[in-house]
Each structure stands twice: as C-alpha cells, then as structure tokens.
Amino acid sequence: MKKRVNPVIQIIATLVTVFWALPVLWLVATSFKARTDIFVIPPKFIFKPTLANFRYTINRGLFWGPLWNSIFISVTSVLLAIVLTLFAAYAISRFRLKGSDMIMFMVLSLRMMPPAVVVIPMFLLYRLLGLTNTYTGMILLYTMFSIPFSLWMLKGFLDEIPQQFDDAALADGASYWQVLKDIIIPQLGPAFATVVIFNVIFVWNEFLFSYLLTGVKTRTMPVQIALGLYTDKGVDWEYISALSTIYITPVIAAVFFLQKQLLRGLTFGTIRR
C-alpha cells in the first residue's frame, strides 16, 4: 500500500522544481523563438514556435563533430575510470591494506582541488608531450578527474556487500576474479549508474580544459556553443539556444530513465538492517 503524500508538500515540491528548472525551460523556449521574439520587451511568454533554429544548426553541421567528440570523450573516459577504480575499490574494501585510509584521503583531495589551479601546468605539460588537440589527451585528463568520485562511490558500495559472499565462493574454489565477475559486479548496478551519470555530467559540461587543450578537430560542444556562433552582427542567441537544447537533452533523458538506480545509488548504505 502506497503512503499518501500531503498535498501541501506536493505543491511546495512542484513550485521548487519549477523554480529551479526555470532557466532550462526558458532556454528551451528561446530555442523555438524567432530572433525578433527573443529581444522583445516585455518578454513574450506566448509566441508562435518555429523549428528554423534547429534546421539551421543541422543544415550547417554546427554540432555533429563537437557532439561526437563530447560523446566519445565522455563515455570513454568514464568507462576507463570505472574499470581502473573497480579493482582498486575492491582491494581497499576487502583487504586490510596498510595506509588505505591515507590513500582514500589523497585521492579525494585531488577531487576537491579546483581545476583552475592546475590549468597552466597541465597546458604546459600537454604541449610538451604533444597531447594538445588529441583524443588521447582529453580522455586521460577526464579519466583522472573521474577517478576520485568513482573510487569513493564504488568503495562505499562494496563495503555494504557482505564479505561472506566472497568467502563462500572462495571456499568453493572460485578465484578472486570469478568472485568479482560473478558475485560482486552483478550487485553494483545502482553504483555504476550513479558513477556514470555524475561523471558524464561533469565531463559533458566541462569547458575550461576543453577550451584550452582542444582544437577544431577535438572541440567539444560547450566550446562550440561558446565560440562557434559569433558573427559580425553579434551573437546568434537563437542558434545558441537550439544547440544548447540539443546538447542537454541526452543527459536529461538519461537521468530520467535511470532515476530509480540513481536514487538507490545515492541512498545505498544509509539504512542499516
């Protein structure tokens, strides 16, 4: 039997949601406006929608290359970070490693450091190694930034899985790899969903390093949106809005379809039995 929610709480939650979603709703609305409707004062809330902005961006091919770059770099770097941190998280969770607490703290400290602090050293290092304007350089960079969050999340999930499962499988002759593959990984679905979504959102929206370390070939969508629509007549806000709407749609759709796994992932371990 489902518990009834207080109507007052529902109304408040709806108002708060609409308030926080208002910039996104305004962006989407602007993408369907003609240029004359965008700059009119007072703003038009009722207008005749048009798809001309989307047709223009598609016909000019303004986003296919940058969109592919964003997808490829985001997915590859996040999956690589998960593969690397899964083994580390399992080792730290299951074995009494000397200095494991210090290792976890040092890894987390890397995530707490503002990215702007290392911009200049990273730019000089990448230029020295020839990694600027390369997929390899961007994937390695974002993998490094994704590792701390991935390690902490996966380690927390693994701590909640009883070690008796491992001991029983090992007693039956299974190897550690078989334990990880057949017992542990199938239980980490919510953890993987949480780690993937949060890391992809970070990489998907990252602008600073992408702006400095990419070129025309490897430019991602945030840089394309910021630099690709300036003309001698000013900024094409209608096309920027259309591109931005296209760009945020996959992330919003992924969060919507994975919301149950995300909720499970964010609350895993908060209720003790």
List pLDDT tens digits, range 152-208: 888 888 888 888 888 888 888 888 888 888 888 888 887 888 888 888 888 888 888
Residue 271 pLDDT greater than 50, yes or no: no
Q: Which of residues 24, 42, 57 is at a domain's end?
A: 57
Which range of residues forms the domain containing residue 198?
A: 60-266
Residue 231 DSSP one-character state: E
Do 22 and 147 lie in a common domain? no
Helix (H/G/I), strand (E/B), else coil: 50: coil
Q: What pLDDT, on the 0 to 100 scale, is given for residue 262?
A: 66
Token pair, residue 38, equals 């965008």
**pLDDT at residue 3, rounded to an integer:** 62
The residue ranges of DSSP E strands in the chain, in sequence order, are 230-231, 234-235
CA 45/CA 41 separation, integer angstroms:
11
Report pLDDT digits (tens) over 50-91: 888 888 888 877 778 888 899 999 999 999 999 989 888 888
pTM, two decimals, is 0.80
* Same-domain check for residues 107 and 43: no
Together in a domain, 75 and 171: yes
Q: Shortest CA distance to 144 belongs to which of 199, 205, 88, 86? A: 199
Mean pLDDT taken over the chain = 82
- Condensed to tens digits (0 to 9), the pLDDT of residues 209-241 reads 998 898 888 888 888 888 766 666 677 788 888
| 128 falls within a domain | yes
The single-letter DSSP state of residue 214 is: -
What's the burial of 261, exposed, middle or buried (CB within 10 Å: 0-12/13-18/19+)?
middle
Domain count, the chain: 2
The whole-number pLDDT of residue 273 equals 44
Question: Are residues 181 and 206 part of one domain?
Answer: yes
User: Can you give the CATH number for the domain in which 250 is found?
Assistant: 1.10.3720.10
What's at 245, amino acid-wise? T
Same domain, 240 and 253: yes
**Same structural domain for residues 98 and 134?**
yes
Closest C-alpha to 67, from 254, 194, 246: 246
Q: Kindly state whether residues 123 and 223 are assigned to the same domain.
A: yes
Q: Would you say residue 273 lies in a domain?
A: no
Residues 140 and 232 in one domain: yes
